[in-house]
A and B are shown apart, each in its own frame.
Chain A
Amino acid sequence: MASKRPKSTASNKGKEKKNNAASPIESVGSAHPDNIFPMVLTSATQELFGCRADEDVTGDNPYKLLRREDIVQDMKTRAAVSDFSPVKQAVLDYPGEEMLLVFDRDFTYGQSFYLVLTVDAMERMLRPPEPETEEAQEDESEDMLMPTTPVPQPWVPLGSDKEIEDEIYRDSRPRLKYRISRLRREFGAPVVFSDRSAAETKDAFMECASYEDKSFSLREMEGSRGVQAIPDVKAASTQTKWTYPKNMCTQYEPRQLSEKEKNKCLQSKKLKNFVQSVAIRFELAIQQNEIMDVFFNDWASLSEEDGAFGGKADTHLKEYQSFTDLHHSREKTISHINWHPTITGVIAVAMTERLSFEERICGATKLVLNPSLILFWSFSDPINPQLMLECPDDVLSFEFCPSDPNIIVGGCMNGQVVLWDISAHVDRLQGTRSGGGGKNMANDTAAYQGFESKHENETPVVRYCAVSGIDSGHKAPITDIQWLPESFEVSRTGVPLENKTGICVQIVTCAPDCSVMIWDIRVPRVATHSLGEERKQKMEDRPLNNPHCAANPFKHLDLSWKPLMKVSLPKIDTSGEYSPYKFCMRHNRSDSQVATVHSERSEVPDYSLLRVPSAKQLKTMEDICTKFYVGTEDGEMVYTDWKMEKDNESGKLFSPKPSHRYIVHDGTVNTVCRSPFFEDIILTVGGWRFAIWKEGVMNGPIFLSQYSQTRCTTGCWSGSRPGVFFIGKEDGNIEVWDILEKTHEPSQVQTITTARITSIKPWIVSSKQHLLAISDHCGTLHILEIPWTLRSHSGNEKQSISKYFDKEVERLIYFEKRQEMREKEKKDKEAEEQRLKTQLPDKSMEQIEEEAHREYKDYLAMEKVILKDMGLLEDM
């Protein structure tokens, strides 16, 4: 009843007072009628409680805390009269000890005082600035929008603590404490144990049997748990690897002294003393080493010479393979063999007709139909040749170019020099080496032009790229042809010049027409410009006459090739010229830088771009030996120089006379071959014997074999042993000569075939395999394997051989000397005799008669005496 009124007024007042309803806290605090009870307090009550209006409690200080006990006491004493009677129940229920009485000066709730009934409200009353400040703050924040960092506020519980408090276990009563004591003397009394059976006395023990306690089987149907929400937490860990820098590599430079410091050191006395004192030790040590090498392993080096102990079969040349072509070598013979310098297992042979000169002339028409060929054989295919080179005429000699194995030069029977280029077919040759044969070809020829791919299994025929002019070349069959090494080239006068191109560009040929010619494969230089232009035009207009070759690198030479220089060999003592058959030049390999740089180049040069340079541009090489040996058709050995000399009178260039000439062989010299181990040892084979020469020794051959029964047709040095060479014979035998073993006869004779041997060439495939290619007159090519005894040499074999040769040279010199001495002796003796003869006619005839008479008388007297002694003469 009384509460209704203030309720409405309070609520109205509350709404008026607080303009925003956003803060429920304030509205709850002020408009809620339950928390406060407005009441009137009489002055007596006021005096009693010390809350007289305007005295104890004022407008500024309207709060007064009254003790609840006092209020209860007052109610008890004055019962219904007490002012507090209307709130009696509330006061009794009041939990706290002090109640708040607020002096309401403005009569906000209708009365002058009001009593706060709840603790919360009391609290709130007592701390009014908070709501006010909060309100003020909110106003502020709305007006200015100033963000301030949130200041942590003390936590205000809103009722959640009640739940937590319900769950907390608190002691409802203080804990009980018990104290148990026992007399001290009763501790530690001796104990006596005795046995007693449990079954005897039933009451002697108490049993506590276990039973199922129902209270422990309760199932909790509901439970209350406290939950607290927390932000997401995540636990993570990481382990870092300890990396520390450490040196990967160090680059350093050695310390070096400057020149000045070095000189200073060298001048110092200390160094002088040091060197003096130390030199003695060194000399001792060095001389010790010189005298004898104490570490030389005699036992190990002994085994080298022991290898000769093998069975007889070991020393024979074993047949490895033999090649005969059914189509092409029927009526033919092989004139020259050459191994391919780079591709192993490929060998080229030149096939020529087996006819004598008259037969050739008679059958010349037939010969034109049968083309001459050079066949390339490979080890992988013994029946079909791999490549065939077409020649204008029979080739007697051919050579691979040392700097470019795809270029082959050959000398023909009609005196022409022929050039081939097989670079298009090198793959074929190489492919067969791997043994693929037909299968590889199928892959390779797919890249070829369509024309050739049809003939997969047929041997390709390569036509020659260039051939020399018939009138400008030799007039006789070219019997020997060789490349000049790439280190130098020869000018028109024969002077050796530096070769800037680094490849072999010049060829030397010889023929029995008494000339040795030097050719150049480059575009020739012409003296006058007009001729040059004409010639250039001519060369350009001329159409390609090689339909098979796509590009002819030697187009500039074809049919117009002229020799660079011609060396003639005039006879020494008579008129006329020598007719060379074979020749041999010195292996002039100088260490020019140009040569070494160019030898590393692997690309194929374009020959048509090369030009013969002028002799003035290149520098002359001093250390090239221009002398060479020539073996002639008549069996002579001629040593001559190819450098041309100038005739002082006419100014023409002419070849000098050869310096030396020897007649050693009785037949054509068919081989002049230089030893691969010694620069100056040459083997010549001809007629029925062979000879070994040393360049520089002009007296004669240092070794001359005895005449053999059969003609020696060819010979060559072994490639691995310096003292071994092979001689081929007319009857198909091979003689193996080992100078260290026997010098009067071959160490071994082996029959290879029945026909005459025409050419022998050795080749080293690997350290285990040395092969010897032998061709015979029937046109068959035999490949033989050289046994271990003939291919491995002992360490000092070269030294022994050179010593032997030196000895032979000495012998020759001594022999000559002796000859001279003998001559001289003979001369002296003749002179003596002459003198004696001339002295005798001084005596007159009478004197001679008288002497004779006297002698006769003496004789008669002697006769008498003897007869008398013998008693035959009677004393008359």
Chain B
Amino acid sequence: MAKVEETLKRIQSQKGVQGIIIANAEGIPIKTTLDNASTVQYAGLIHQLLMKARSTVRDIDPQNDLTFLRIRSKKNEIMIAPDKDYFLIVIQNPSE
């Protein structure tokens, strides 16, 4: 538990990081540093995108799997790392 906290804190302290969300495989957030409304929204939407991206990668090559997803937008960058049971979302503003 402490190790998890420590890792998250390390990520959070990087320059420009706005928020971190850990969600389970169904898209229900477990831990977050943002407010509840944003968290729920992010978790739900990104879960769908993640499913789609993963299925895309696996359709092209069944031996392959999605490891990391980065969405770059005008205002910030959303980074998602999926896993079998959980996925982690980090939102960063790189220009700060």
Contacts and interface: CB of A to CB of B under 8 A. Distances in A.
Q: Verify that A and B bind, or say they do not.
A: yes
A151 interface: no
B85 A270 contact: yes
Most buried by B among A267, A283, A286, A287: A286
B78 to A, nearest CB: 11
A237 B24 CA distance: 60
Contact of B4 (A257, A262, A275, A286): A275
B59 interface: no
A282 B81 contact: yes
Contacts of B16: 286, 289-290
A876 interface: no
A266 B68 contact: no
A272 B3 contact: yes
Nearest to B11: A282
A285 B79 contact: yes
A296 interface: yes
Contact of B88 (A275, A286, A296): A275
B52 interface: no
Interface string B39-77: 010011000000000000000000000011010100001
B11 A283 contact: yes
A254 B40 contact: yes
Given A275-B22, A289-B77, A283 B14 contact: yes
A255 to B, nearest CB: 5
A266 B31 contact: yes
Which of A255, A265, A277, A282 gathers most chain B CB within 10 Å? A282
A564 B14 CA distance: 51
Contacts of B67: 281
B83 A295 contact: no
Contact of A286 (B26, B44, B79): B79
A271 B86 contact: yes
Given A262-B30, A289-B94, A267 B79 contact: no
A276 interface: yes
A278 interface: yes
Nearest to A288: B94
Task: Sort chain A's interface into a size bin.
Answer: 20 to 34
A447 interface: no
A282 to B, nearest CB: 6
Interface in A241-297: 254-257, 262, 265-267, 270-272, 274-279, 281-283, 285-287, 289-290, 293, 295-296
A255 B40 CA distance: 8
Contact of A289 (B1, B26, B92): B92
A680 to B, nearest CB: 23
Nearest to B31: A266
A254 B38 CA distance: 12
Contacts of B31: 262, 266
A274 B11 contact: no
B92 A255 contact: no
Contacts of A274: 83, 85-86, 88
Contacts of A276: 3, 7
Contacts of B11: 279, 282-283, 286
Given A275-B22, A289-B92, A266 B85 contact: no
A271 to B, nearest CB: 6
Contacts of A290: 14-16, 94
Contacts of B40: 254, 256
A403 B64 CA distance: 64
Contacts of A283: 10-11, 14
Given A267-B1, A283-B11, A255 B83 contact: no
Contacts of B70: 285
B47 to A, nearest CB: 11
Contacts of A286: 11, 14-17, 79, 90, 92
Given A254-B40, A274-B83, A274-B88, A285 B68 contact: yes
Nearest to A295: B72
B79 to A, nearest CB: 5
B28 interface: yes
B22 to A, nearest CB: 7
A265 B23 CA distance: 10
A262 B39 CA distance: 14
A97 to B, nearest CB: 99
B69 to A, nearest CB: 10
B70 to A, nearest CB: 6
A277 B70 CA distance: 17
Interface string A548-559: 000000000000
A677 to B, nearest CB: 20
A255 B17 contact: no
A293 B72 CA distance: 11
B21 to A, nearest CB: 12
Nearest to B77: A289
A257 B28 contact: yes
A255 B88 CA distance: 18
Nearest to A268: B85
Nearest to B17: A286
A291 to B, nearest CB: 9
B28 A256 contact: yes
Contact of A257 (B8, B30, B83): B30
A271 B27 CA distance: 15
A256 B43 CA distance: 11
B90 A282 contact: yes
A702 B57 CA distance: 61
A421 to B, nearest CB: 45
B62 to A, nearest CB: 22
A330 B46 CA distance: 72
Interface in A274-326: 274-279, 281-283, 285-287, 289-290, 293, 295-296
**Sorted from nearest, which 8 A-B pairs have the closest CB atoms?**
A289-B94, A278-B81, A254-B40, A279-B7, A286-B14, A274-B83, A265-B30, A293-B94
Interface of B: 1, 3-4, 7-8, 10-11, 14-17, 22, 24, 26-31, 40, 43-44, 67-68, 70, 72, 77, 79, 81, 83, 85-86, 88, 90, 92, 94-95
Given A282-B11, A282-B90, 7 more contacts: A254-B28, A255-B28, A265-B24, A271-B86, A275-B8, A285-B68, A285-B79
19 contacts: A265-B24, A266-B30, A271-B22, A271-B86, A272-B3, A272-B4, A275-B8, A276-B7, A279-B7, A279-B11, A282-B81, A282-B88, A283-B10, A286-B14, A286-B90, A287-B14, A289-B77, A290-B94, A295-B72
Interface of A: 254-257, 262, 265-267, 270-272, 274-279, 281-283, 285-287, 289-290, 293, 295-296
